[in-house]
Chain A
Amino acid sequence: MKYLKTATLAAALLGGSALGAQAQELHFIMCGGEVRPADQTVIDQFQKDNPGVTVNMEAVPWGTCQDKSLTLAAAGDPPSIAYMGSRTLKQLANNDLIVPVEISAEQQALYQPGVLQTVSSGGQLWGYPHAFSTKALYMNCDLIEKAGMECKGPETWADLIKMAQTVKDQLGIAGIGLAGKDFDNTMHQFLNFLYSDGGQVINADTGEVLLDSPQTREVLELYKALTPLAEEGPTAWERDQLKDLFNDGKIAMYVNGPWGRGQHNADIHQLVAPIPHGPSGPSGTILITDSIVVFKQHDHPEVQAMAQKLAQALTTGAAQYDLDQSWGLTPIYQYEKMGIDKPFYQDDPFWQVFVDGIHTGGPEPLVVDFKSLQSVFTNMVQGVMLNDDTIDNLATKAGEELAAIK
């Protein structure tokens, strides 16, 4: 009887440890504050296909999410997998916190131009691009027509200034909404205009900092001209708040991504136009991606492998198409090459604007200290908005500061 008890106990222990070896828990931090239904569907299926694997989702708002993932990783308790802004990748990779991703050559060829550039550093890919955005100019045609103009996208910066000035003079409201708060989209807005003037931030091949350039000065001149025509105190506003001003009829135009259409009041007669170009280049846009990254698991390589598998499931084929379509994102793949018949953006003038911008767009710069990168741009933009320094000094200082952190 005693032997029987011992044998039973041993069997239970062995069984338990075998079960433990099979059971895997993936901690998934999802930036954005919610798990999108398209992603949840994939995750549910993944758990069904991999018995014993549990994916614990933690949705965290953007404001604190990236800090949380980075801090956990730095403290030695990294999440298994996270959905984050691609601008964090170089910092994570340089500190040996994430592992390179495994994207096949065939799949790489299907991405839109410029997408993989946003996740590559040192010759390797560090994230699975999962959300892609380009930007365009939203116009409130009701206001523009009320000011006596035809509602047609301004082609050049001079046209943009003239249009904003007319709205301001005729209606007494802001002709354009500008983002100038200490926030990432202040940098993004600046880069939209820089890339619409043939400017660059960092040379992708040589790594040389090119921010201190005539194009940067031209963009700053544009800001100087637009600030008096913009909403009061643009240094207190970020892009998501501008949407409220647009809905309230307090600004006639502003730059936003394709999701803006769904956020605007249905009764606003809106038009979307490419970002007007400057004197030195064609219209462009910033190409931004958010990516799924796999954190290094020193003691649990099996968790790391499973995380790679989940990331691949979320970012391939139909799963990614569902997300792009349902969430109103710029298509991350050239879906027509995947054999999808009439993808959602084809033959749609609205989407045309966002897709056409891809080819002339530029990436969000990847540096080792992404928070400082943001500070460089917000300092420069706020400097011109507050008339705090000369344009020449602002551009020169920004170039020096960027060189110090790249």
Chain B
Amino acid sequence: MVKFSIRALNIWFDAVHALKNVTMDITANEVLSIIGPANSGKTAFLRMLNRLNELSENFRMSGEVKLSRGNIKDMDTELLRKRVGMVFALPLPLPLSIFGNVAYGIKMHGIKNEKRQREIIKQALKQAYLWEEVKDRLDESAFKLSGGQQQRLCIARTLALKPDVILFDEPCSGLDPISTAKVEEAMLRLKTDYTIVLVTNNVKQAARVGDKTAFFLSGELVEIDKTDKIFTTPTDKRTDGYIRGKFG
């Protein structure tokens, strides 16, 4: 089943043509890894899916992006971002308590009942493998957690909104290998219920967790295919060069 269908997508930031004529589909309940060197348009692509690019005044686009057949342009951004959650490169807790961070999204969407909030938060923290570590200190500042814990908190914060899709923007770039393994484990288990799009600089990570892999270069989608295929017999020479570490 196709979750996102992207047709002839172009993105500009002022005069910079960040994404060039990208057409692809994102399948539901899979992990799609997006790899490519810096400035290849990976993050601009990811931030297109929840319309976060629109926070920049110099953003322009053409083409269309459909989420389950509805054009995201016609959707209410607040509801779209509730359905399409995002985890950022650096762990970015909000200046609130652990509880406050996970509760933030659902509060903003009108869930005021504290008992209901507590249930949702417990479930989200469990899904992000953080509950056992924080259950006794939910009222502490989120900044007291370690980097890896903060990143799992950010995942829980997104999960609390019960999204369809979760976007990960290089979620492990600031983490040590053990924290990285925990975040990857969480991603693999989450894909049964969610569609996951993972932008990563780490080619090996893409190979480990991606069902499909897309390779971006200078704003173009070079190739998208099953991860096994990309990593064994890629169609394009440039893909081959990148995953073998010849550039990027």
- A and B, one complex? no
A residues in contact (CB < 8 Å) with B: none
B residues in contact (CB < 8 Å) with A: none
